Amino acid sequence: MSERVAVRKTYKLYIGGKFPRSESGRSYIVQDANVALSSRKDARDAVVAARAAVKGWAGATAYNRGQVLYRVAEMLEGRREQFVALGVPGEEVDAAIDRWVWYAGWSDKLAQVYGGANPVAGPYFNISAPEPTGVVAVVAPERPALLGLVSVIAPAIVSGNTVVVAASPAEPLAAITLAEVLATSDLPGGVVNLLTGKISETVPTLAAHMDVNAIDLTGVADAGLAAELEIKAAENLKRVLRPAPADHDWFADPGVTRMTTLLETKTVWHPKGV
């Protein structure tokens, strides 16, 4: 009996709920696999997909978004071994699963914790509530490839933002596999869009893109590049999350700044009268 010939996976991009190859037709070899090498045009397509998804995702009920995020945790739990096989330490997979659960619970609490009634000095009903900012470009940290990625995607999307994520160029396989998890988790297409390849190729396009509302530079290790990207982001006054320190502990309590930076506060006034 000859040994069974394995079916290998083609690692593709994740844009608008589909898994296309790079429109450039390029790939690069990393982690013993051919991985799509995204182009500027892929970045642009991803922004279009992300923008198209904003209305439905931001308009979904917070309860629904929480359910979807929790479903991601469920699906990830089921595929735990798949990530371990890719070289992701078991405890990191566990932490990533728990992080989805943590953020899932935030969806219907954000407005209560970060919004509220304002006691203005006059006969007005006045209320402030957080809203998603829109399309967020995210540079995932290089490592840990899975926990780091989950830790930047979940806080962005839990409130209704959609994201275009540049995955870790050195360890993209966990990211692409996570995209497969997302695709089977009731997450609407376009809410998370994943680009693999070089940061220097796609992220400047995202930073300069006028239809992107915010940029998370967490994974940009080069301080010079980070400053350059921040300068590009200023063109349409994107909200900016600056790079994380190199020694950032991804296993620690993530806090709320990632969520709140990507929120807008809307305040509504109305007179009270008969």
Q: Site residues (CB under 8 A) for other proteins? A: 113-114, 116, 118-124, 126, 128, 133, 213, 223-224, 226-228, 230-231, 233-237, 239, 257, 260, 264-274
To the nearest whole angstrom, how small is the minimum distance from the Cβ of residue 159 to other proteins?
14
Nearest CB to other proteins, comparing residues 136 and 173:
136
135-139 and 239-241 beta bridge pairing: unpaired
To the nearest whole angstrom, how small is the minimum distance from the Cβ of residue 91 to other proteins?
27
The CB density around residue 39, as the number of other CB atoms within 10 Å, is 20
Nearest CB to other proteins, comparing residues 28 and 124:
124
Residue 249's H or E segment, with its range, is: none
To the nearest whole angstrom, how small is the minimum distance from the Cβ of residue 206 to other proteins?
16
Q: Which residue is associated with the tokens 């540049």?
A: 166
CA distances from 97 to 107, 127, 154, 206 (A): 16, 35, 11, 28
Nearest CB to other proteins, comparing residues 84 and 120:
120
Separation of alpha carbons 269 and 8, rounded Å = 58
CA 167 to chain centre: 10
To the nearest whole angstrom, how small is the minimum distance from the Cβ of residue 269 to other proteins?
5
Nearest CB to other proteins, comparing residues 91 and 269:
269
